Structure 1
Amino acid sequence: MLLYKLWRSFVKEILLLKRDIGGIVIIFVMPLLLIITITLIQDSTFKNLEGSKIPIIFIDNDKSEVSKNIKQELESSKTFELLTNFTEKSAQDAVFGGDYQMAIVIPKNLTKDINSNIDSKVQTIVSSFGLETDSSAVKKTVSKAKDIHLYFDPATNIGFKNNVMNAVNKMVFEIENKKIYKAFQDQLGTTENLEENKNLISFKEITPKKGNMDVMPNSVQHNVPAWALFAIFFIVVPLSINLVKEKSQGTSVRARISPTPYFIHILGKTFTYLIICVIQFLLMVAVGIYLFPYMDLPQFDVTGKMLQLIVVTLFSGLAAIGFGVLLGTVADTQEQSAPFGATSVVVLAAVGGIWVPVFLMPEFMQTIAKFSPMNWGLNAYYDIILRNSGIGGIAKEITFLFLFYIAMVVISLFYERKQNAV
């Protein structure tokens, strides 16, 4: 008998959704548009694709060894397209006006002055060891340090600025080191090959492997689970609106006086929206697998992970449903539930790491993120997709999501009973 009542409650929820075309659009269409748009933007921004180089202005007033080496390094990076038909004044105006991201201006006589300074300092050092050297050369005046001018668009991201400045500093440092080494060779009369003077310490990134292939995270692996989770939690809006409608139309009163326990109505909503959450996730995965490759994006790989991903989806859906039930129970009008539901989901997404990675947040925000159900779901997805975890590895996150659902429903039931107590 209870199963029949649960089935009728499920059918009622389906009928309510069929009448709400706007809710269906919010539930299914909007997340798909979001995931496609955001993934395209992020992939073209952070991935160095052929033909998508960043145009920057390069002005060479030195036209000698150092400036040529810097230019060669920038061109070989495959990140920048160098534009050279500018003066420093026109380059400054173009960059500060927002036409280009940055400009690099190499000063006159940079190579000559670097050579002069290095020769003078090396000769001074060699003479201090009592070795023979040209005394007139030791007294040579050291030239003033040269500045390479970097102009950035005021709207340029600070991370981009730091990366470019670090790259230029590294190039200049390596050039200076080679020149100093060569100057000592000349003074001491050694004949060691400069090419053999390599760094004693280097960095090697160790990445996860699948067979003999490196497993490298990409924009699709981050965006599909993140925006699937955002879509799942956005069911808060239509769910809370339907609950408010039931109160305003008297449906909830008939449900309370019927012989069917009120929790059956909650379970009916839970099963209905859990199915919707799974459909949402499968649509997101389908986009990642079948559509993204046609858009020059990486294919979303779920090989051997689909069962675990569905489990996370179910528990994330429970957390979203619990939150929607509480909001719909507390709100008195649709004008209260709809805006608050949409805003709260966006806030939870921001706090949970959907918009900005948690590690980039201030320390106190990182602490707050640990209490966001979206963060639990996102970490569980990432553990499966990026860290190859099994069900045991995500047990903590799915437990938190389930307890969140129980807490929200219990609070809703107590609030409903209190409001309708005679």
Structure 2
Amino acid sequence: MWYKLGMSIKKELLLLKRDFGGLIILFVMPVILVVTVTLIQNSSYQAISDRKLPIILVDNDGGSIADTIKKQINASGTFEWIDQIDGQAITEETAKKAVNKGTYQMALVLPAQLSADLKVKIDQNVEKILEEFSMATANVDIDRIVTDKEIHLYFDPATQNSFKEGIKNAIDRMIAQTENQLIYAAFQQSLGEGTAPLVGSVKDFIQFKEMSPLLEQQPIKPNSVQHNVPAWSLFAIFFIMVPLSINMVKEKTLGTQVRLLCNPTPTYVLLAGKTITYLLICLLQFYLIVLVGRFVFPQLGLPQFEVQGYFILLSIMTLFAGLAAIGLGIILGTLAKTQEQSSPFGATFVVILAAVGGVWIPVFAMPELMQYVSKLSPMNWALSGYYDIVLRNGSLLDIAPEIALLFLFFVFMVIIAILYDKRKRAV
């Protein structure tokens, strides 16, 4: 059996060697794409759609400030806040885990006693101002020490930096507006309808601190390279379904398949030969793009793609992504009757999978319907696995669901192809 498997692999390599130009395209095309797209996206602002994004809001304050923030979030037209997951109240720890898994894009954690301490701080500042005009009311303990407050922001590690900055600026404006309203209210309460200069502003009392949702608190800053290297590697990997299906169609039209079936060689050996051969191509494609991201990108002024500590997991993820692509190529080559059917359909289908799977546009920025559709794309499963490894410091256990989906997809495609081929030959 091993001899037959080796001969099957040799046959596939010979077929690829005869189409040397097509083989070069499989390696040159993704390199050009990943360099071009990364250069374009590196400094561009990734706009989000008009739909409302859910924000996890952990309200440890329970006061007027929290109520105002909730109203302003809802009134913003961009966000909506949630404080429960599956009917359970959300804590800062559960919010951190949910954001780290990519279930939600961000979480906003309000500290305890925010409203009460902010009011005290404002009253102290107002009292100091009134003292300068000999109008002090002596109703406020100006010597009471009030600690500054930090509103913690958690972002999904896969979130674009430009999106994060836009979110932080929007929430910063909400908080600043709330603070200003309280300051004016305090002066109006003390001076009636009069006004006074706002000396001693409390604008720095509430500070924002972006927190890492990673359990190890590893400082990972997402960038365009961390998205484009795995994304366009997947595009190249899935594009192998085109030459694979074309070669299978050639075998049928030239009579090679009939001669192979006349030999005492099981079908699974022939399929295993194709699978091993094209898996090697997938790994070579991925390693080539990784080398470009690691050594060429810094020369172009782009961030370097880091693989230290992730190389083995990335290779495992690539193997199973390659299996899914090979499964598609096998079933396409089985169903297609001519090269004119397999080639354009395969290329178009890869483009559709890439668009739906989040290679071009992040899934969270898609309309709600397309977000559900994206979950059907094997390219999306693989991309999520890459994100878990590179951005979320995931382990083999964390990417096990994506690996299982990709492997089952491969098995399902191969079974359908075998059953269809047997039925066609039996007629």
Q: When the two structures are superposed, what TM-score results if normalisation uses the length of structure 2?
A: 0.65
Q: Which amino acid aligns with 1:259?
A: P
Query: Is 1:19 the counterpart of 2:18 in the alignment?
Result: yes
Q: Which residue of structure 1 aligns with residue 5 of structure 2?
A: 6
Give the conservation status (yes or no) of the 8 Å contact 1:231–1:280. Answer: yes
Q: Distance in 1 between matches of 2:175 and 2:208?
A: 17
Q: Which residue of structure 2 aligns with residue 237 of structure 1?
A: 242
SS at the partner of 2:308? Answer: coil
Give the conservation status (yes or no) of the 8 Å contact 1:349–1:355. Answer: yes
Deviations, residues 6-64 of structure 1 (Å, cap 9, x unaligned) = 101101111111111332133111000000000000003149xxxxxxxxxxxxxxxxx
Query: Is 1:38 the counterpart of 2:43 in the alignment?
Result: no
From the CA coordinates, give the structure whose radius of gyration is larger.
1
Give the conservation status (yes or no) of the 8 Å contact 1:255–1:262. Answer: no
Equivalent of 2:361, from 343, 356, 359?
Answer: 356
Query: Is 1:203 the counterpart of 2:208 in the alignment?
Result: yes
The CA deviation at 1:197 is: 2.2
Q: Which amino acid aligns with 2:402?
A: E
Give the conservation status (yes or no) of the 8 Å contact 1:185–1:191. Answer: no
Greater Cα shift, 205-214 or 231-240 = 205-214
SS at the partner of 1:30? Answer: helix
Q: Which residue of structure 2 aligns with residue 291 of structure 1?
A: 296
SS at the partner of 2:393? Answer: coil
Q: Distance in 1 between matches of 2:398 and 2:178?
A: 45
Q: Distance in 2 between matches of 1:209 and 1:404?
A: 30
1:19-418 aligned within 5 A: 19-46=18-45, 194-198=199-203, 200-207=205-212, 214-418=219-423
Q: Distance in 1 between matches of 2:197 and 2:173?
A: 26
The CA deviation at 1:208 is: 5.6
Q: Which amino acid aligns with 1:41?
A: I
SS at the partner of 2:398? Answer: helix
Query: Is the helix fraction higher in 1 or 2?
Result: 1
Residue 190 and residue 350 in structure 1: after superposition, are their counterparts in 2 closer, same or farther (change >3 A)?
closer
Aligned CA-pair RMSD:
3.4
Residue identity (%): 53
Deviations, residues 235-293 of structure 1 (Å, cap 9, x unaligned) = 01111111111111111111111111122111100000000000011011101111111
SS at the partner of 1:247? Answer: helix
Residue 411 and residue 45 in structure 1: after superposition, are their counterparts in 2 closer, same or farther (change >3 A)?
same
Which consecutive unaligned segments of at least 5 residues does structure 1 have? 48-130, 132-158
The CA deviation at 1:221 is: 0.6
SS at the partner of 1:196? Answer: coil
Which consecutive unaligned segments of at least 5 residues does structure 2 have? 47-134, 136-162
The CA deviation at 1:178 is: 11
The CA deviation at 1:369 is: 1.3
Q: Distance in 2 between matches of 1:324 and 1:219?
A: 29
The CA deviation at 1:179 is: 10
Deviations, residues 71-108 of structure 1 (Å, cap 9, x unaligned) = xxxxxxxxxxxxxxxxxxxxxxxxxxxxxxxxxxxxxx
Q: Distance in 2 between matches of 1:313 and 1:213?
A: 24
Q: Which amino acid aligns with 1:276?
A: I
Give the conservation status (yes or no) of the 8 Å contact 1:35–1:223. Answer: yes
Give the conservation status (yes or no) of the 8 Å contact 1:305–1:384. Answer: yes
The CA deviation at 1:193 is: 6.4
Q: Which amino acid aligns with 1:268?
A: G
Residue 322 and residue 392 in structure 1: after superposition, are their counterparts in 2 closer, same or farther (change >3 A)?
same
Q: Give the paired residue count.
A: 310
Q: Distance in 2 between matches of 1:408 and 1:380?
A: 21
Q: Distance in 2 between matches of 1:194 and 1:247?
A: 85
Q: When the two structures are superposed, what TM-score results if normalisation uses the length of structure 1?
A: 0.66
